[in-house]
Every structure is written in C-alpha cells, then in structure tokens.
Copies of this chain bind each other. A is one copy, B any other.
C-alpha cells in the first residue's frame, strides 16, 4: 500500500496509521509493518499504532528517527507492507509460559529491544515475565552477554582493570569518591561509570557533577582513564549496555528490580569496560535491597558465579546498611565530606572504614597488597595525600577545577536545625525517612540540598540539642522538607515518640 508521509516531531522510531488503512492491510495495534522508500529501497520496521483522529486515510505519520533513517519529508510517498512480528515476541511468550530462554533467544530479545523492534509494552511483558518466573544463571549470563554486545565497549592497554559497584539503598554512600582515587593512586586502572539517583538523594554521578563534567562518550572515558588512571562519569551518556536503561525504565513505575536483571545490569557494565577484578558492595538492612545476611550471601554467590563465567574475578563485601554512611546526605554536603576525608580529616569513621575496606579488597585482588594488607595500604594512600592528589588529577582530566577544597563546597543557604525533643541516646536513623526529607529539600537536583546528621546512633543528646540539620536552596523547599520531617521523625531519640513510617514506603535505587 502506498501512503503519504506526514512527519511528526516525536523523538524515536515508528509512527501512526489510519484505522481504514489498517483494516485494508489487515493489521491491528501491535502488528508489524515495513515502511519502504520507493526510490532508495531503504526500509524500516514499524509497530502498528492506529488512530482515527489525527490523520486522514492514505497518510502515515512517521516519527523523527524513522524519517531521518529513510530520508523522508512531509509529502513523500512510501510503500507500506505487512511484516512478520520479530521472533523475540515468541521468545517473550515462552518466558511468560515459564520457559527457559537460550542464549540465542535472549540475544534476539535484547537486540530487538535496543533496535526499537520491540515496543515498550512488549519490553514490559518481558520484564514482568522475567520478574515473576525468574531467570536461572544461564539466562542471567546470556542476558549479561547480550547487554554487552548490543552496546559500546572499552578496552585498555594497561592491566589489570578493576571496578567497584554498590547495589545501593544506603543514603550518604559517597565512598566511590574515595575508592576511585585510592585505587588509581595505587597504579590500577578504574574506569568508573555511575548512575544518578532515581529514588535516592544523590547518586555517585550527581555527586561527581558538583566537581566536574560527567557526560562523556565511551571513547572519552577510555582516553581520560588512560591519562589519570581513573574517572567517575555518568554511565547514561556512554551507550554502554543501553538495553539496561530500557529495562530500568519499564521496571521503574513498579519499583521492581528482578534479581537476575540486577546482576546482569551490574555485570554487563563492568564487563563492557573491561574490568578484570570487581568488588560488589552489598549493603544489608531493612531499607536496602537485601534484608538478611543469608540473602546477601546467596546474591554474592550469583555475582561471583556470573563473574567467573565471564572471566572476571568478583568479590563481594556485605556491608552495614542500617544507617547512612558518614553524616552528610545530598550532593554538596556529601562531596564536602568526602573531600575533607581525602584532605586528612579523621572523621566520619563509618565513611573512612568502609572506603578503605572496599579499596583494600581491590588492592589485594589485583596483587598490589598482601592478603590482609589491602586495608592498611588503602589507609596509607589516604593519609599520605596520594589519594587527594589523584582525585585532583581525575577532576582535572574531566574538566573540573582541580584545586578545589572541601571548604569551597557549600550547602544551601536555607537551613533548619532539628532539636531533640527529649534528653537521651539516638537509637535509630531511618534511611527511608532521611531520604524522603532530603528529596523534599531539593536533592539531588538542588546540589546544596540535603541533611547533615549532627548525631548518629549512640550519640547522647540533651533536650534541645540538634539531632540533624536540613539544608535547602529555597525557603519553599526547606518548609516542605521540615513539614515532612515533623511527620516522619527520621531520627529517633530514646524516649521520643516512636518513628512513624509512611504507608507507601519508598524503595531505594542502585547507588552507583
């Protein structure tokens, strides 16, 4: 059938046809068409989307990418044929019916996802089916390899290449800002790609953005890493494992994160940057993704197994996820805290200990330190100033201000100190509540917004002393956060009214 092109300014591939033409072609929403340029013979697939209102019969509305791919403009004529659905539809149906997907079937699904041969609806069906029916380790391995092969990859001449990842859920977890410079200062290569916060108050990418640009192509990541030994960039602009972004997008409304998909997501990104040794930080706690030590160990085994199948050496660190790491939550506050530790501060203890522990494992895995000597080496790279020097180098190579000092990074101008209503010991910090308040204060978008925990668990407070301070960049945001803080009591002092958890407890996202 010949149809007249009407270009529609919508990003992406595909388009819309009129109901009458759909009936003439014998197709329904979700069927496949092939759109062919009659002169060049170039063609593109299209998922049928039917309208009765915005087009007249005889016209096809085509979106930007399809128009560009085929070199079409308004008023051109195209040939439109029915096409068979991609076989990935059948493989998704197989997964719905509790089948096991072969490596080839998984590859077909992931390739069709990335090439926009599957609609978001169809990807949703795949993700939902995988979530409900689960994936075995063979499928997780296939998914990981498929994610890697459908995206860009980085190779390095210098070895070993190491990497770290935290599966997230703990507020204030700025350790990457310490681990990457420590590791790079030891002479190892660490091309760290990070994510922005989705439901958190600041992902590593949001933090690093305070100090330097973070949007780079895979090629630039490679070049900068070769120069400085390490980088901390946003993974979203690299086109590494792009299928993962699609999966996360359809998972997002339901706050699901299927175990197999999470493992594949993490491991694909490590494999694509050529990492040979990887430490996975698995925080355990009531608000993190993993709630018990037993679950953490089981997850760790799967990470190690998938790593081994891909030729990567993986170790997992199960960490304490009940309270924030350090005292600062929110981009500027966290960056200032991390910088101050690099500059020689001896607190906060939880941040320093977690950073040297994770760094130590990597140093031992890579043979830079003796067994049990990694943590000591990390500590000395930190106290000698070598890590700070390296961090300045990394900031410089990414285009930031390399002589930055922790005192330059200021929190928002609007602040409110929350006084303790009673005298007593701090008995709990509620991650979910702290993150909710920090987000209402404007984090992670407003870099100065966040929370500083003046007291942590075990601190003795007198009535009226500050438990924590909320920072914001506007009075409006501060007021909003304060209101929620009064409702949530994210920090509990012994003898206080019990903590109140909102009915719809939010879930926390991948931190890195």
Is the Cβ of A121 less than 8 Å from the Cβ of B28? no
Q: B-facing mask of A29-49, CB < 8 A → 1, else 0?
A: 111000000000000000000
Q: B252 to A29, Cβ gap below 8 A?
A: yes
Cross-chain contact A254 with B89 (CB below 8 angstroms): yes
Q: Is A256 an interface residue (CB 8 A)?
A: yes
The answer for the CA separation of A439 and B236 in the assembled complex, in Å, is: 45
- Which residues of chain B come closer than 8 Å to A254, judged between CB atoms? 89, 92-93, 96, 122, 125
List, in ascending order, chain B residues with CB within 8 A of A239's CB: none
**Interface size on A (CB < 8 Å)?**
48
| Cα separation A9 to B61 with both chains bound (whole Å) | 11
A89 adjacent to B30 (CB under 8 Å) = no
Q: With A89-B253, A93-B255, A124-B121 known to touch, is A28 a contact of B198 (CB < 8 Å)?
A: yes
Give the number of times this chain occurs in the complex, counting copies. 2
Which residues of A line the B interface, CB within 8 A? 8-11, 16, 23-24, 26, 28-31, 51-54, 64, 84-85, 89-90, 92-93, 96, 98, 119-122, 124-125, 128-129, 131-133, 198, 249-250, 252-256, 439, 444-445, 504
Question: Cβ of A255: which chain B residues have Cβ within 8 Å of it?
Answer: 93
| Residue of B with least CB distance to A133 | B132
Which of B90, B121, B249, B256 is A93 in contact with, Cβ under 8 Å? Answer: B256
Q: Which of B24, B51, B96 contacts A445 (CB 8 A)?
A: B24
Counting chain B CB atoms within 10 Å of each CB, which of A23, A30, A120, A132 scores highest?
Answer: A132
* 14 A-B contact pairs sorted by A residue (CB < 8 Å): A8-B9, A10-B10, A11-B52, A28-B252, A30-B250, A30-B253, A31-B252, A89-B254, A96-B254, A121-B124, A121-B253, A122-B253, A125-B125, A132-B133
Evaluate contact between B121 and A11: CB separation under 8 angstroms: no
